[in-house]
């Protein structure tokens, strides 16, 4: 593997390519606002965007600890797709029809992000090529077929199932025995989207303060070292960093995800790989991977490396950890397993980020009407589109609470107001997550060696113990 020149860390490749935008001023002192948003990622910025568009005279302040897009929103795999964490549980809790409405809202959200980005003149390399998920073992193929049927049962249109030969006509993934493709997905450049969004929000008249860590959130107050913002509504939009906030250590577990990106690959290699549709690409492994063909013809590929650091350490926004050599190597191995022709490609960058995982793996959006505190997150790795749906829902919840409108289709969705129990204290939390991911990796290895289509029993038990099912 050629990693001598690999940049490791430094936020992400997306920022290495784009450059970090000029910093915005920190909060100058105590102030007031109608709405104070903590966190300048997709959730916080989309929320500011839709609120300000709906009620232009609202005084909205965004407080960001580092810079807008510092978190997962500037580091992710660029899959804008219609998956939402917890849908199956919401179907069990609220009925199938409610979960279908949630799914349809997610399907629409993909188009909404594409539309809003175009309206704001944000060029985020968006390519609406859908999502392709491949199976490379008999057990993965069985899960893929189940997944395909379940998505159709949740009202998805346009999804197709493909055999090995047909899959290869689209993308030649070594060992692929089948795939499923949905049109409800697009590839994008994460940092271009989030920096463009921050600019759009400011242009609308929202106040954005960077380098302003919020040290405490309480009803009507967001406290920082530079002063306090008093506002009737204070929204926590800190996703994977939530555990770093006082009182929230066990609310959402900060799970790591790591990525590598190759150098731009030559035409001759792409001729062999196909992938002309620029679908986002994933698989059906338990420790799954995700990839995209970038606008400048690189492969960016990610997966869980070291999934979790003791004591939720990854939730500290001051943390700029490098990606461990073993993780970079594991991701490179995966790249070569999928695309043997890319074995000699230089790896230009490796980086990691954190995402938020609730104890029951269900994404949620909430406004507590008695306190004016709101939050959204727990997207478990599917936040690029979900954050936009959450933002429009927070807008509707605030408008409803302030008497400007009644309930809407969005406020009636089953993920609104959902609560999940807290994570176990350490060392159980650390032991649990590491055991879980060891189990998933072992299950993937056993399935790869097996000839049967059954999902490995270790993975099934791990799902049950984790509370994922
Ligand atoms: C490597 C990686 C790959 C991923 N790939 C995908 C993908 O391809 N598709 C997909 O759908 N999802 C993906 N995700 C998940 C997705 O990126 C996130 O769910 C989404 O970006 C969350 O957005 P957010 O605004 O809620 O949180 P973030 O983008 O994490 O933003 C939170 C912000 O809050 C700030 N903050 C934290 N604490 C404080 C504080 N105390 N005071 C002030 N500010 C604070 C942080 O600095 C940060 O900027 C991935 C995540 C990672 C890490």
> Contact, 100 vs 90, CB < 8 A?
no
Go through the domains of the chain in sequence order and give each one's CATH number: 127-187+253-357+432-466 (3.30.9.10)
* Average of per-residue pLDDT across 173-181: 97
- Among residues 429, 440, 276, the alpha carbon closest in space to that of 358 is found at 429
Please name the residue whose Cα sits nearest to atom 18 of ligand 1: 383
Mean pLDDT for all residues in the chain: 92
Please name the residue whose Cα sits nearest to atom 16 of ligand 1: 383
Q: How many helices (H) and strands (E) does the chain have?
A: 12, 21
- Compute, in angstroms, the gap from residue 40 CA to the centroid of ligand 1: 9
Percentage of the chain beyond pLDDT 90 is 80
The 3-state secondary structure of 13-68, one letter per residue = HHHHHHCCCCCCCCCCCCEECCEEEECCCHHHHHHHHHHHHHCCCCCEEEECCCCC
Given the DSSP bridges, would you call strands 289-293 and 233-236 parallel, antiparallel or unpaired?
unpaired
CA of 58: how far to CAs of 33, 195, 307, 383, in Å?
8, 22, 40, 26
- Compute, in angstroms, the gap from residue 73 CA to the centroid of ligand 1: 4
* CB-CB neighbours of 225 under 10 Å: 10
Among 14, 26, 39, 357, say which to mutate for ligand 1: greatest number of ligand atoms within 8 Å of CB.
39
Question: Which uninterrupted H or E stretch holds 211?
Answer: none
- Compute, in angstroms, the gap from residue 381 CA to the centroid of ligand 1: 9
* CB-CB neighbours of 121 under 10 Å: 10
CA distance 11 to 117: 23
* CB-CB neighbours of 80 under 10 Å: 28
Please name the residue whose Cα sits nearest to atom 2 of ligand 1: 76
* Per-residue confidence (pLDDT) for residue 144, from 0 to 100: 95
0.85 cut: is pTM over it? yes
* Per-residue confidence (pLDDT) for residue 315, from 0 to 100: 64
* Per-residue confidence (pLDDT) for residue 430, from 0 to 100: 76
- Compute, in angstroms, the gap from residue 80 CA to the centroid of ligand 1: 14
Tokens coding 395? 């807008």
Residue 103 per-residue DSSP state: H
Q: Which residues contact 161 (CB under 8 A, 6 or more apart)?
A: 144, 145, 148, 178, 179, 180
List residues bridging with 351 in a β-sheet: 259
* Average of per-residue pLDDT across 236-244: 96
> Contact, 125 vs 188, CB < 8 A?
yes
Protein residues whose CB sits closer than 6 Å to any atom of ligand 1: 38-44, 63-66, 70-73, 75-79, 213-214, 237-241, 244-245, 257, 259, 290, 302, 317, 353-355, 377, 379, 381-385, 387
* Per-residue confidence (pLDDT) for residue 360, from 0 to 100: 93
- Among residues 58, 77, 62, 95, the alpha carbon closest in space to that of 13 is found at 77
> Contact, 305 vs 255, CB < 8 A?
no
* Average of per-residue pLDDT across 75-82: 97
* Per-residue confidence (pLDDT) for residue 235, from 0 to 100: 98
Please name the residue whose Cα sits nearest to atom 50 of ligand 1: 76
* Average of per-residue pLDDT across 216-241: 98
CA distance 64 to 230: 16
Taking the CA of residue 354 as reference, the ligand 1 atom at the shortest distance is: 53
State yes or no: pLDDT of 439 exceeds 80. no
Q: Which residue has the tokens 């590598």?
A: 260
- Interval 93-110: pLDDT, tens: 999 999 999 999 999 999
């Amino acid at each position: 593997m050629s990693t001598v020149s690999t940049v490791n860390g430094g936020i992400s490749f997306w920022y290495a390519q784009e450059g970090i935008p000029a910093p915005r001023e920190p909060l100058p002192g105590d102030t007031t606002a109608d709405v104070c948003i903590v966190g300048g990622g997709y959730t916080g910025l989309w929320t500011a965007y839709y609120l300000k568009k709906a009620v232009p005279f609202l005084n909205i302040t965004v407080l960001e600890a580092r810079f807008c897009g510092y978190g997962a929103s500037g580091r992710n795999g660029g899959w804008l797709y219609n998956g939402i964490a917890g849908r199956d549980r919401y179907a069990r809790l609220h009925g199938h029809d409610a979960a279908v409405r949630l799914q349809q809202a997610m399907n629409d959200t993909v188009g909404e992000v594409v539309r809003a980005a175009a309206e704001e003149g944000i060029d985020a390399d968006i390519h609406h090529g859908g999502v392709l998920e491949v199976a490379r073992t008999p057990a993965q193929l069985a899960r893929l077929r189940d997944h395909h049927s379940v998505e159709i049962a949740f009202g998805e249109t346009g999804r197709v199932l493909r055999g090995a030969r047909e899959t290869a006509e689209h993308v030649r993934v070594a060992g692929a025995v089948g795939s499923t493709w949905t049109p409800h997905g697009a590839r994008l450049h994460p940092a271009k989207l989030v920096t463009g969004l921050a600019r759009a929000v400011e242009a609308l008249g929202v106040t954005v303060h960077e380098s302003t860590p919020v040290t405490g959130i309480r009803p009507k107050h967001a406290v920082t070292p530079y002063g306090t913002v008093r506002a009737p509504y204070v929204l926590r939009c800190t996703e994977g960093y939530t555990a770093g906030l006082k009182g929230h250590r066990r609310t959402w577990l900060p799970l790591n995800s790591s990525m590598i990106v190759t150098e731009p690959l030559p035409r001759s290699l792409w001729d062999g790989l196909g992938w002309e549709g620029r679908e986002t690409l994933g698989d059906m492994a338990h420790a799954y991977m995700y990839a995209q063909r970038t606008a400048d013809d690189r492969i960016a590929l990610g997966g869980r490396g070291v999934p979790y650091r003791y004591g939720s350490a990854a939730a500290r926004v001051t943390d700029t950890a490098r990606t461990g050599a073993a993780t970079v190597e594991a991701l490179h191995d995966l790249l070569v397993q999928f695309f043997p022709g890319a074995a000699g490609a230089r790896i230009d960058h490796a980086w990691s980020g954190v995402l938020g995982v609730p104890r029951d793996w269900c994404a949620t959006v909430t406004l507590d009407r008695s306190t004016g505190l709101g939050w959204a997150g727990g997207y478990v790795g599917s936040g690029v589109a979900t954050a936009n749906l959450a933002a429009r829902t927070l807008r509707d919840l605030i408008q409803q609470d302030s008497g400007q409108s009644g309930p809407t289709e969005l406020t009636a969705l089953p993920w609104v107001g959902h609560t999940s129990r807290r994570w176990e204290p350490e060392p159980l939390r650390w032991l649990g997550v590491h055991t879980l991911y060891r189990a998933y990796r072992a299950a993937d290895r056993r399935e790869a060696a097996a000839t049967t289509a059954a999902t490995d029993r270790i993975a099934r038990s791990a799902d049950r113990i984790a509370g994922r099912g």
